Structure 1
Amino acid sequence: MSRPRRMLGFSWPVLIGLAALAAPRLVLHDLGVITEGSFVNGLLVFLPPLCWIAAVLWKRPAHPFVTVLVIGALYGVFLAAGHQLLWDTAFDGDTPTLGGNLTGVDPTVQSAVVRTAAALSSLVTGTIVGAVTGAVAALLCRIVPGHPERPGDTGR
């Protein structure tokens, strides 16, 4: 078993798949299909991190916080890529621009600056979601008993 897999408890395809559980909300939101505050939006916001926690509780990786942090960072990559791909559709031709003293900056430069800021914001958001969810998962791994039928599982 590879070192990352031992540490994270899951293969990279599984980690990417867990992060991808949050992608439908991104697409539906950017396309304007769901709105903030709706029941469906709430499900799509909270269900993926709950699945991440459930997967960690089931698998019991050596470092549950790090595992979910990695899932969150991968989610941030999905956010960044998705927002960039759906940029024009999400803003319906009214893309954000720089203001104040930067209003006169070349529109191409403005677009690059705003898109870069949005991508970085997405990466930070995903990582923060992973950190918060990872902290909950790590705490639950300590509180909730593990599978007694698994050799070596102490239930932490």
Structure 2
Amino acid sequence: MVNVASNPKTTLGRPLWQLAALSLLAAPRVALHDLSLIPNSAVAAALVFAPAAIWIAATLRSPARSPLLTLLVIGIFYGVILALGHNLFWDEVFTTVTPGLGGNLEGTLSPGTEEVVLRGAMSVSSLFTGAGTGLVCGLVAVLIQFLRGRAARR
């Protein structure tokens, strides 16, 4: 078991503040997407893939013992950014249509309580999305590391 608390810099390859700073590279996409300021284009693709590529490159260039763990931590920070951004831009996103609970829960809660439930669900979903993104990036980094090691042995 990896003990991050003992010395996160040696375990994760960088101090936690640097991992948090790396996750901020994805923040512009959150805001621009929520405000519908970027069309579906090469710019949108760059805003999605460039931060992840930088995270992977920075992690592979660090002395991280486990790139998977390091990128998972970056992903969790990214999930927090997603949750904060989506909550911050909630009213702008839903200017014409207000989200609501459906099915058996439709109309059973006050509008304020319903919004708290929906924002909470969105926040949890954002955290899972960030962690999942970090996990996928971590798996890519592990694959790159494996292929590098294999090539070096030849």
Alpha carbons 1:64, 1:137 under 8 Å: kept = yes
- Structure 2 counterpart of 1:123: 127
1:141 pairs with 2:145: yes
Task: Quote the offset at 1:143 in angstroms.
Answer: 2.2
User: What is aligned with 1:148?
Assistant: none
Q: CA deviation at 1:10?
A: 0.5
Identical aligned residues as a percent: 46
Query: 1:69 touches 1:134 (CA, 8 Å); kept in 2?
Result: yes
> Which residue type is aligned with residue 30 of structure 2?
L
Displacement of 1:93 after TM fit? 4.5
Residue 80 of structure 2 aligns with an amino acid whose one-letter code is: V
In structure 1, stretches of 5+ residues that fail to align are 146-153
Q: CA deviation at 1:56?
A: 1.4
1:103 correspondence with 2:94: no
> Does the 8 Å contact 1:60/1:141 carry over to 2?
no
1:59 shift after superposition: 1.4
TM-score (norm 2): 0.88
Aligned residue for 2:22?
18
Distance 1:95 1:79 in 2: 20
Aligned counterpart, 1:78? 81
Which letter maps to 1:110? E
1:47 aligns with 2:50: yes
Letter in 2 for 1:11: P
CA contact (8 A) 1:69 1:127 kept: yes
TM-score for the superposition, normalised by structure 1: 0.87
Kept in 1, the 8 Å contact 2:78–2:130? The answer is yes
Aligned to 2:11: 7
Structure 2: give runs of 5+ residues left out of the alignment.
1-5
Distance in 1 separating the partners of 2:145 and 2:18: 19
Secondary structure at the aligned position of 1:33 is classed as coil
- Residues 15-42 of structure 1: per-residue CA shift (max 9 Å, x gap): 011101011000001111013x321111
Q: Deviations over 1:27-81 (max 9, x none)?
A: 001111013x321111101111100111012114111110001000100000001
1:108: Cα distance to partner? Answer: 1.0
Deviations 1:69-115 (A, max 9, x none): 10001000000011001110122252211112222121111101110
Contact 2:10 2:63 in 1 (8 A): no
The one-letter code matched in structure 1 to 2:102 is G
CA RMSD of aligned residues (A): 1.7
